[in-house]
Amino acid sequence: MYVPSHFRMTGAVAPFAFMARHAFATLVSTHDGAPFATHLPFIVEAGHADGSKPGRLRGHMARANPQWRGFGKDEVMVVFAGPHAYISPAWYEDAESVPTWNYTAVHAYGVPHILEDPFDVRAVLAALVDRNERGFAVPWEMEALSETYLTGMMKGIVAFDIPIARLDAKEKLSQNRPAADQHRVAAELARSSDPTDREAGMLIADRLATQPL
């Protein structure tokens, strides 16, 4: 991903927090010589800041999906997408401006490894269930399933682990525009009827609030 320095997501922790927040992502690889993508929920684990332990992604896909057959060989890319919005040049002070699109995204790269141990497969499933059920008043628990049913369902999936080799992290939030334009863009997006626009506007406003005066 092309990431100009002024649009780079800063800090070692920010990309992992972003991926965890937008954990339904797109796994992209090559299958039979052509691009192949699968949309999946992921468990995101941050690595150590000193680099002694890489971050990693864990997930699973249907065994009938042929994409996993290339795992363990080549690097894959996982695309995490966040809020985005159309930006009108009418919101800028300078009339000699053009439209653009603000967006946030992280691309994670690594070689996926298939998890063969049933214990590891269960751990991935349990982590995904916990992540997505914990906010409910009465969370569903995987333990409610019979062992026979759960074992049968596990045979139909392939769980995997992706140690993260590198990250491209981008937040294009009008940083290349004067501060007055940035404030105006944030205000216009805040008035939008589209919740995604409003969320993108909040990111700009939050960023402006943390900048030194």
The full 3-state SS of 50-115, as one line of letters, equals: CCCCCCEEEEEEECCCHHHHHCCCCCEEEEEEEEEEEECHHHCCCCCCCCEEEEEEEEEEECCEEC
Where is 167: in which H helix or E strand? strand 166-172
Residue 212 has pLDDT above 70, yes or no: no
Residue 213 has pLDDT above 60, yes or no: no
Mean pLDDT of the chain: 94
Which of the four pLDDT bands, split at 50, 70 and 90, describes residue 52?
A: low
Tell me the pTM. 0.92
pLDDT at res. 210: 83
Give the residue-averaged pLDDT of 172-201.
96
Residue 185 has pLDDT above 80, yes or no: yes
Residues 56, 61, 64, 66, CA torsion sign: negative
Domains in the chain: ranges and CATH: 5-176 (2.30.110.10)
Token readout for 153 is 């369902």
